Amino acid sequence: MQETLAEWRPAVDAAIADVLPREVDAAYLESYFGEPTFEYDPESIQRALVDPIWDLLDRGGKRWRAVLFLVFVEAFGEKPEDYLPYATIPEILHNGTIIVDDVEDEAESRRGEPALHHRFGQDIALNAGNAMYFLPLKIITNDPGDLPESQRLAAYEMLMHELNRTHLGQGMDICWHNEREVRATREQYLEMCACKTGCLGRIVARLAAIVTDQSAAVERHAAEYAETVAVAFQIGDDVLDVEHSLGRAGDFGKAFGNDIREGKKTLLVLHAIEESDPADAERLADIIAAEENTDEEITEALRIIEDAGSIEYAKDRARALSEEALAHVDALDIDPGATEQLRSFAEFVVERDV
Residue 2 C-beta: closest distance to a second copy, Å = 29
Compare residues 9 and 165 and give the one whose CB is closer to a second copy: 165
Asked if residue 72 lies in contact with residue 204, where contact means CB atoms within 8 angstroms, the answer is yes
The answer to the question of residue 163 lying near a second copy (CB under 8 A) is yes
Stretch that binds a second copy, among 9-17, 190-198, 253-261, 300-308 (CB under 8 A): 190-198
Stretch that binds a second copy, among 59-67, 115-123, 242-250, 345-353 (CB under 8 A): 115-123
Identity of the residue numbered 81: E
Compare residues 74 and 94 and give the one whose CB is closer to a second copy: 94
Q: By CB under 8 A, name the one of 181, 187, 312, 330 that touches a second copy.
A: 187
What are the residue ranges of helices labelled H in the chain?
2-19, 26-33, 42-45, 51-57, 64-75, 84-104, 116-120, 122-134, 138-142, 149-178, 186-193, 199-211, 216-248, 258-261, 267-275, 278-289, 295-307, 310-332, 336-351
Q: By CB under 8 A, name the one of 47, 111, 248, 254 that touches a second copy.
A: 47
The answer to the question of residue 28 lying near a second copy (CB under 8 A) is no
| Alpha carbons 345 and 354: distance in angstroms, whole number | 15
Residues in the chain: 354
How big is the site for a second copy, counted in residues (CB under 8 A)?
Answer: 69
The answer to the question of residue 348 lying near a second copy (CB under 8 A) is no
Q: By CB under 8 A, name the one of 2, 27, 39, 215 that touches a second copy.
A: 39
Q: Taking CB under 8 A as the criterion, which residues in 191-210 touch a second copy?
A: 191-192, 194, 198
| Alpha carbons 302 and 119: distance in angstroms, whole number | 36
Dihedral, CA of residue 228, residue 234, residue 235 and residue 236, to nearest 10 = 100
Asked if residue 276 lies in contact with residue 307, where contact means CB atoms within 8 angstroms, the answer is yes
Compare residues 135 and 222 and give the one whose CB is closer to a second copy: 135
H or E element at residue 109: strand 109-110
Stretch that binds a second copy, among 7-15, 55-63, 121-129, 283-291 (CB under 8 A): 121-129
Residue 291 C-beta: closest distance to a second copy, Å = 15
The answer to the question of residue 227 lying near a second copy (CB under 8 A) is yes
| Alpha carbons 268 and 47: distance in angstroms, whole number | 44
Give CA separation, 342 vs 164, 170, 200, 214, 329, in Å: 26, 27, 17, 17, 7
HEC readout, 13-80: HHHHHHHCCCCCCHHHHHHHHCCCCCCCCHHHHHHHHHHHHHHHHCCCCCCHHHHHHHHHHHHCCCCH
Compare residues 33 and 277 and give the one whose CB is closer to a second copy: 33
Q: By CB under 8 A, name the one of 31, 109, 164, 258 that touches a second copy.
A: 164
Q: Taking CB under 8 A as the criterion, which residues in 132-161 touch a second copy?
A: 133-135, 137-138, 140-141, 149-150, 152-153, 156-157, 160-161
| Alpha carbons 210 and 192: distance in angstroms, whole number | 25
Compare residues 80 and 129 and give the one whose CB is closer to a second copy: 129
Interacting residues with a second copy (CB under 8 A): 29, 33-34, 36-41, 43-45, 47-49, 100, 103-106, 121-124, 126-128, 130-131, 133-135, 137-138, 140-141, 149-150, 152-153, 156-157, 160-161, 163-165, 167-168, 170-172, 174-178, 183-185, 187-188, 190-192, 194, 198, 227, 231
